[in-house]
Chain A
Amino acid sequence: MGVTGSPTNIQQRSKTKGGIGESTLRPDGTLKVTGEFAYSSDMWHEDMLWGFTLRSTTAHAEIKSIDVSEALATSGVYSVLTYDDLPTEMKNYGLEIQDTPVLAHGKVRHHGEPVAIVAADHPETARRAAAKIKIEYVELPVITDEASATGPDALLIHEGRDDHHIGHVPHPNIVHRQPVIRGDADEAAKRADIIVSGDYVFGMQDQAFLGPESGLAVPAEDGGVDLYVATQWLHSDLRQIAPVLGLPEDKVRMTLSGVGGAFGGREDLSMQIHACLLALRTGKPVKIVYNRFESFFGHVHRHPAKLHYEHGVTKDGKLTHMKCRIVLDGGAYASASPAVVGNAASLAVGPYVIEDVDIEAVALYTNNPPCGAMRGFGAVQACFAYEAQMDKLAAKLDMDPVEFRQLNAMEQGTLLPTGQACDSPAPVAELLRLVKSRPLPPEQQWLSAGEDADVRALPGGLSNTTHGEGVVRGVGYAVGLKNVGFSEGFDDYSTARVRMEIINGEPVATVHTAMAEVGQGGVTVHAQIVRTELGVNQVTIHPADTQVGSAGSTSASRQTYMTGGAVKNTAEAVREKVLEIGRAKLGTYHPAWATAELLLEGGKVVTDGGEVLADLVDVLEDEAVDLELEWRHRPTVAFDLVTGQGDGHVQYSFAAHRAVVEVDTELGLVKVIELAVAQDVGKALNPLSVVGQIQGGTTQGLGVAVMEEIIVDPKTARVRNPSFTDYLIPTILDTPTIPVDVLELADEHAPYGLRGIGEAPTLSSTPAVLAAIRNATGLELNRTPVRPEHLTAT
């Protein structure tokens, strides 16, 4: 090392620990394990009231009258509000289309729609008062499927629709329609030696995050309101809340409070406006916490879908064409349906090379529960169907299902059906190879412990339904293709503020963004990025609030890419500023200040050759560098509404699964033995979190394969199972070991080469489990979730 002329001592270069690529632990971990982490349902304020929402008991009805007098007269009740009490002309909200009433007016369109809200001094008082509200309904016929929605006499769910999709849909009860046409599928079909078609049904899945919808609204002296709430996108909430309250956006100050999971279910508003209305009306802080029953009505679900697919292949196994029609049930309000349609259509072909395609995806308006965003967003339903098709095709060709997929796998450079080239690595064949080459778990593990069967390892578990008789094993594979980030020309940006200063003789950086940490670990990664770029050990993560620019949504696998990218970009700008200050103060002491590439590492300014020029403490002294910048990914365009062509997506991500199952064919019970997964993450900024996300996503896919479904009565459109007793999510006994292989093939367009990871593992997990069950039983199984009666043919 050369001699430096800097006024500080000559020191060894010390690498900053805890940068990207390391499995740094969560900054909020200690608070979360001690019970001190403040989730939205934990908020408390002196003198606060409790809000409660009265919901419709019917799915489609005119509201004749609402009488709140008895509720209002209840002792302990402070306020009861209905539609008539809304303060402005803006009485609806919505992510894309403002069709969702804050409180029902004129009509209710789905079971569980909010009709009135109550504030009282005890949650039970509020609940009992709400029960005294009298509503007179005149029932209307319910629309529950495509036939009833678009039939000749169909009632319109939304009369007088005037959104921008209306011009492009064949019927007003269709929210949005997106075709994707490329080549000539009919012509290409003539080249096929074998044509396989199938009809598939995907059930309605629920996000079932554990932390209930909740928050606290505190009226402020300036006439505004402070809202502490669990959400996925503070600024999107703000944009929808402020106009309904009749307040300018700067008078609605939002702070993220602890979020107990989201998975898309917190993209739409739930109790936000209700709590603010009650707080502003009563002049007191109001807390609303949904119970689990309400939570099932309080957020949108995953679109149930009906899918028809046709594929052709030549004798030597090359796909010739694909035609499909995907009908998504959007329920009573639009929510994210238009974007889900765009995703389903543009990703309908999956990770395969098929030049001639004819695709149509639509979302319906019905009286079923509203559906919107959930992990995998439109790509999940398609993946379930095209992967079933791949297995059918392979079987017809008498080919190995993995080899067949590999033969047709897309790769870097492949044109997708939208005409967009995949310009980053697409290791589809390699991911399949990875899961396939893992050793299979030993057969009949329930016997390996000794002679007596360990019933815990069998389908049915401790309920002791079998000792191994009639238990058969199957293995299945699947792979999926998901886009990352918001597509179709959306101005998707994120903002980060990064500050660097000297505190107690140490350089400290603070990161302030509006990113919703919903459990995914963004806060961990932000600190890692700042350490990498600014070479400081101490990083403080400022609470997310609306005092800083939008970070966009924590969804679409985009936050590490987008807000991570914004933090990186801003930190780089801070670094430049710091170096500028350094040059001005100390530049004359060493020529490297002017000539070398300089870095910040271990609290020092160093040259790229590793020479230490200065301590940050001496560079900054009592100056602080503080910058807030917006950051965007490369632009996308909207898909053509007739052909579906256009460079609509930012980035793609890929995952493959191999499922091993055992099925008790007598009782129709399934035990998933192992669910191996391989995923390309571009660059693992935090390997521990990456694996955690992949395992979590895999488990949600497993859930919808074998148990999770919101059941809606087809005659009344009422939800039958809004509870954790009846809506089942996988327990630790239902979830197998999930070995994970992580590939890191950098995407040169993304920060650090990373790829969004949150959603891809949810896609292929479901079809892999289904394929394994088919392999075990020989049954066709075209619907998910699989229920015992499907396996025993009763």
Chain B
Amino acid sequence: MRVNFTVNGRPQEADDVWEGESLLYVLRERMGLPGSKNACEQGECGSCTVRLDGVPVCSCLVAAGQAEGREIVTVEGLADYAKHREGAHPGTGCGSSGCGTSLDDAKRWQSKPTDGRSGETRELSPIQQAFIDAGAVQCGFCTPGLLVAADELLEQNDSPSDADIREALSGNLCRCTGYEKILDAVRLAAARQEETV
């Protein structure tokens, strides 16, 4: 079957989709957007979290056909989405060729000394930057799902309590960090958000 939907602000269509394919599979394997992760494909870990018409969902549990005509935001489009949060048109994130990974992606990592900011000069959403700054990223496999969930939390609640953060992120497993630095990251993003308002 053919599925039409909007991904990170761009209309997309996927052909020859099997009935049983999940939205996660279509995003990762057909759209070239592997940012959403495939840690359990059982709806248990939250690594595949994307926003479907604004609502965070486990994309591994969404049949691709259910996404017909709907708007999806993945971690690849998060910075843009956050930027255009107030506007009507969530940006022009990656298209099917703009990002994603192929074989020549055995990337070299440029490591720069940091004074609070790291990596290439790229525009990141506040929550993305906070995850880097707080040391909330280790292996990073849980990170995309956590970012999408945390970004939605901050959209709903600009100064969440620790209990709110724990509740909102309780569907996202992380095996590396012990969560303490993830809490730090969300607190940091919330605090920075407050500063700029």
Contact = CB atoms under 8 A, between A and B. Distances in A.
Interface of A: 16-19, 22-39, 41-45, 122, 124, 207-212, 216, 218, 228, 255, 257-263, 289, 291-292, 454, 456-457, 462, 518-521, 523-524, 527, 531, 537-543, 545, 688-689, 691-692, 695-700, 723-725, 729, 731-733, 735, 737-738
B14 to A, nearest CB: 14
B109 A42 contact: no
Nearest to B121: A30
B111 A524 contact: yes
Q: Is the interface of A mostly helix, strand, loop or mixed?
A: loop
Describe B's contact surface by its main secondary structure.
Answer: loop
A262 B28 CA distance: 23
B132 A724 contact: no
A36 B144 CA distance: 10
Nearest to A291: B41
A453 to B, nearest CB: 13
A259 B120 CA distance: 21
Nearest to A226: B103
Interface in B35-50: 35-42, 44-45, 47
Nearest to B110: A540
Contacts of B11: none
Nearest to A37: B140
A7 B96 CA distance: 54
A722 B28 CA distance: 24
A262 B140 CA distance: 12
A208 B175 contact: yes
Given A696-B176, A723-B42, A732-B179, A539 B111 contact: yes
Contact of A30 (B34, B42, B120): B120
16 contacts: A17-B114, A24-B114, A27-B119, A28-B109, A29-B137, A34-B79, A36-B100, A39-B34, A41-B34, A45-B102, A209-B139, A537-B112, A539-B110, A541-B111, A689-B135, A692-B181
Contact of B119 (A30, A261, A520, A545): A30
B74 to A, nearest CB: 7
B120 A724 contact: no
| Residue of A210, A262, A291, A527 with most partner-chain B CB within 10 A | A210
Given A25-B132, A732-B169, A210 B119 contact: no
B178 A735 contact: yes
A725 B44 contact: yes
Interface in B153-189: 163, 165-167, 169-183
Nearest to A698: B178
B137 A35 contact: no
Nearest first, the 8 A-B pairs at minimum CB distance are: A35-B35, A18-B113, A519-B139, A30-B119, A260-B141, A695-B178, A32-B140, A25-B118
Interface string B111-147: 1111101111010100011011101011111111001
A267 to B, nearest CB: 16
A33 B132 contact: yes
Interface size class of B (residues with CB under 8 A): 35 or more
Given A725-B44, A732-B182, A35 B111 contact: no
Contacts of A31: 107, 109, 119
Given A25-B118, A210-B45, A724-B45, A538 B110 contact: yes
Nearest to A737: B180
Given A32-B143, A44-B103, A456-B166, A538 B181 contact: no
Given A292-B40, A695-B181, A542 B108 contact: yes
Among A25, A520, A527, A735, the one with the most B-chain Cβ atoms within 10 Å of its Cβ is A25
Interface of B: 18, 20-21, 28-29, 32-42, 44-45, 47, 74-76, 78-79, 99-103, 105-115, 117-120, 122, 124, 128-129, 131-133, 135, 137-144, 147, 163, 165-167, 169-183
B126 to A, nearest CB: 11
A26 B118 contact: yes
Contacts of A735: 178-180
A280 B38 CA distance: 27
Nearest to A287: B29
Contacts of B117: 25
Contacts of B181: 691-692, 695
A292 B179 contact: no
Contacts of B132: 25-26, 29-30, 33
A94 B190 CA distance: 49
Nearest to A699: B178
Nearest to A690: B135
B109 A724 contact: no
B135 A692 contact: yes
Given A27-B111, A34-B78, A733-B170, 16 more contacts: A24-B113, A29-B118, A30-B122, A33-B129, A35-B75, A42-B28, A42-B101, A43-B103, A44-B34, A210-B173, A289-B38, A692-B177, A695-B177, A732-B166, A732-B179, A738-B178
A543 B165 CA distance: 36
B38 A261 contact: no
Nearest to B45: A724
B75 A218 contact: no
A255 B113 contact: no
